[in-house]
Amino acid sequence: MSLIAGFGCRRGAPADSVAAALAAALDAAGRTPAALTALATSTAKSAEPGLQTIAARLALPLTPLPDAALMAAAPACLTASSRVQALTGLPCLAEAAALAAAGPGARLLGPRQSAGGLATCALATTEPAP
């Protein structure tokens, strides 16, 4: 079973904002960083220094996902941002990335969490619902 953290962020979002969004998502889901198996975002965001820094700190891969995979996961998103919709066509990048990276049968552990409007994080898993 996997636990994937999906991310969205503004260009240049600092690592502290990315870490805060991750911490909020983990806290809301009652999980710890040790449970994570990978991080994910769009191909376009995968080079963001803040995301790269958090992946390095956690020693986890940051999976870049193509637009087609994100769009396929979009119908299962729980939240929607008009800003993200206008920029990417997705309701929520963090949620779509988590779902797409977790694979078939994945489910979100809750809506995405935000850190000061600079970064968002959502968690998806392949474990059965309780």
Q: What is the pLDDT of residue 1?
A: 74
Burial string for 24-40 (b: 16+ CB within 10 Å, else e) reads bbbebbebeeeebebbb
pLDDT at 98 over 80: yes
Mean pLDDT of the 67-79 span: 96
Mean pLDDT (the chain) is 95
pLDDT at 127 over 90: no
Which band of pLDDT confidence, cut at 50, 70 and 90, is reported for residue 129?
A: confident
| Domains contained in the chain, CATH given | 3-125 (3.30.420.180)
Orientation angle between helical segments 49-58 and 15-29, nearest 10 degrees: 60
Q: What is the pLDDT of residue 76?
A: 95
Chain-centre distance for alpha carbon 5: 4
Mean pLDDT of the 36-57 span: 97
Q: What is the pLDDT of residue 119?
A: 97
| pLDDT, tens digit, 9 for 90 and up, residues 105-116 | 999 999 999 988
Q: For a pLDDT cut of 70, what percent of the chain falls above it?
A: 100
pLDDT at 130 over 80: no
